[in-house]
């Protein structure tokens, strides 16, 4: 694959990953996979870091998707949820999925730090440093929903950075 095509693929994947936080987790999974393919084509980061980041990111997205499906995050959903006979079990499973998603998101941020640092040093694009910081803090704050919005912004910055970056 051509380097320019890989950059565009990675940019589109990052945008899709960001949109998926609002449209649904399957879109984010597809976006993360496209971003992974682009990073592999650009030969950015060590293979183990890239692979583990992909596994952690997809696992976190699935866990957050499960938690969101169980818990809802709307007042109407919360009202109907409390009427369930097994509401304690539902709450426990939803909170466990959310906690697992948070731990996996922080693990993905740890792996992505090295990849984005390598990408910044190779391209000289400062957007990757900002995306790195936002992804890290967004992952740490993902225990509350605002962190996921910060992670989405980090994905947008990664996409813009990949599209405008000059490879050397």
Give residue-wise pLDDT tens across range 14-32: 999 899 878 877 888 899 8
Percent residues over pLDDT 90 in the chain: 18
Q: Can you give the pLDDT at residue 154?
A: 93
d(CA 82, CA 154): 35
Contact present, 122 and 115 (Cβ < 8 Å): no
Q: Give the other-Cβ count within 10 Å of 166's Cβ.
A: 9
For residues 17, 22, 25 and 27, what is the CA-based torsion angle, rounded to 10 degrees? Answer: -50
Number of domains in the chain: 1
70: containing domain: 3-164
> In the prediction, which pLDDT does 80 show?
62
Give the model's pLDDT for residue 46. Answer: 56
Q: 87-126: buried (b, 16+ CB within 10 Å) or exposed (e) per residue?
A: eeeeeeebeebbebbbbbbbbbbebbbbbbebbbebbebe
Residue-wise pLDDT for 83-130, tens only, equals 666 666 777 777 888 899 899 989 999 988 888 888 888 888 888 899
pTM over 0.85: no
């Amino acid at each position: 694959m051509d380097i320019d095509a890989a950059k565009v693929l990675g940019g589109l994947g990052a945008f899709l990953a960001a949109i998926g936080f609002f449209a649904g987790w399957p879109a984010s999974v597809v976006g993360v996979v496209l971003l992974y393919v682009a990073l592999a084509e650009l030969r950015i980061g060590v293979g183990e870091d890239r692979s583990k980041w992909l596994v952690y990111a997809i696992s976190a997205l699935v866990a957050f998707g499960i938690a969101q499906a169980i818990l809802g995050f709307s007042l109407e959903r919360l009202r109907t949820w409390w009427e369930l006979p097994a509401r304690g079990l539902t709450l426990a499973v939803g909170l466990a999925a959310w906690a697992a998603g948070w731990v996996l998101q922080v693990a993905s941020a740890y792996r992505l730090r090295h990849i984005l640092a390598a990408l910044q040093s190779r391209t000289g694009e400062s957007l990757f440093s900002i995306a790195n910081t936002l992804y890290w803090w967004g992952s740490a704050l993902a225990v509350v929903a605002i962190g996921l919005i910060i992670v989405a912004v980090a994905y947008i910055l990664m996409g813009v950075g990949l599209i405008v970056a000059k490879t050397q």
